[in-house]
Amino acid sequence: MTFCAIRLKLKSTIVETAKLKWLPSILLAVWLFPAFAQQQDFRLWTSLSQEVNLGKNVELQLGQQARFNNNVAQLERHFYDVGLNFKLGDVYRLSPGYRFTDGLEEIGHRIQIDQSLNHNLPNKWWLKQRLRLQWNLDQPIYVTDYRIRYQFKLVKKFGKDFYLYTEPELFYCHRFNLQDFYQYRLEGGMKLEMGKGDWAALDLFYIFEDEFNIEAPLRSHILGFGLSFNLN
């Protein structure tokens, strides 16, 4: 083989190698494209809630929320909640509730039923599992939406009044199967109880929320804080 042929072959090998070195980056970009192409938003949620003891095993729950979207530049909607919490045994809870939604362009009504299991674990740990059945009715187009939500919450207490928790949640539309799985929510936060008898609590949290298998899915980063009062 002549010197010129060896030189041409070496040059061709270098060029092909240079092309191949970009292949992992190209494949990574193609794999991540849907994530970057997905619409994203930064949100702020605020809440105020109150619990009132109506009897030995019954609580009245009242709440109000304000949610801001469009990178916290716009008030998206208000929520007004009312519900009951029935303590049935040491572990099981049944909680029917109603929510009125006042949005920018529509109002809505939601009826929900929560069934939960509350477990006391050793060393100041708690585990809560919740299954929610909810029916949404949005006006003025009167669209009925039925959803199933499963959530579990793990809580750790530090000292007398401070808690850390994580709270993942799965969302299903109409049926509890993979085909109707369209959203998940990952939440982590802290709670500080205040006052004599812990009659008030401040809650700070962060939520990562991701939608898929639907038209125009949204990925959201949410900061939130809430203030609650216990009048039991």
CA 102, distance to chain mean position in Å, is 20
Number of folded domains in the chain?
2
Q: pLDDT tens for residues 25-80?
A: 544 443 344 444 457 899 999 999 999 999 999 999 999 999 999 999 999 999 99
User: Residue 16 has what pLDDT?
Assistant: 45
Are 141 and 78 in the same domain?
yes
108/161 same-domain check: yes
Instruction: Give dist(CA 139, CA 136) in Å, integer.
Output: 10
Q: Please count the other Cβ atoms lying within 10 Å of the Cβ belonging to residue 231.
A: 10
Between 23 and 39, where is the model more confident?
39
pLDDT tens digit sequence for 78-135: 999 999 999 999 999 999 999 999 987 788 899 999 999 999 999 999 999 999 999 9
Q: Is pLDDT at 141 greater than 60 in this prediction?
A: no
Say if residue 15 is in the same domain as residue 87: no
For residue 45, the Cα-to-chain-centroid distance in whole angstroms is 11
Q: Are residues 23 and 133 in the same domain?
A: no
Q: Which residues span the domain enclosing 11?
A: 1-37
Indicate if 185 and 218 belong to the same structural domain. Answer: yes
Is 111 found in the same domain as 12? no
Residues 186, 202 contacting (CB under 8 angstroms): no
**Is 85 found in the same domain as 21?**
no
Residues 159, 205, single domain; the answer is yes
Based on the fold, state whether residues 73 and 97 are members of the same structural domain. Answer: yes
- 31 and 132 assigned to the same domain: no
* Identity of the residue numbered 98: Y
CATH number, residue 218:
2.40.160.40
Whether residue 126 sits in one domain with residue 19: no
**Rounded to an integer, what distance in angstroms lies between the CA atom of residue 88 and that of residue 184?**
29
Q: What is the CA radius of gyration of the chain?
A: 25
Alpha-helix runs per DSSP H in the chain: 3-20, 23-37
- Using omega within 30 degrees of 0 as the cis cutoff, is the peptide bond preceding 34 cis? no
pLDDT score for 21: 52
How does the average pLDDT of the chain come out, rounded? 84
3-state secondary structure of 210: strand
| Distance from C-alpha of 29 to C-alpha of 34, rounded to nearest angstrom | 9
Nearest of 148, 147, 165 to residue 156 by alpha carbon:
165
- Same domain for 202 and 177: yes
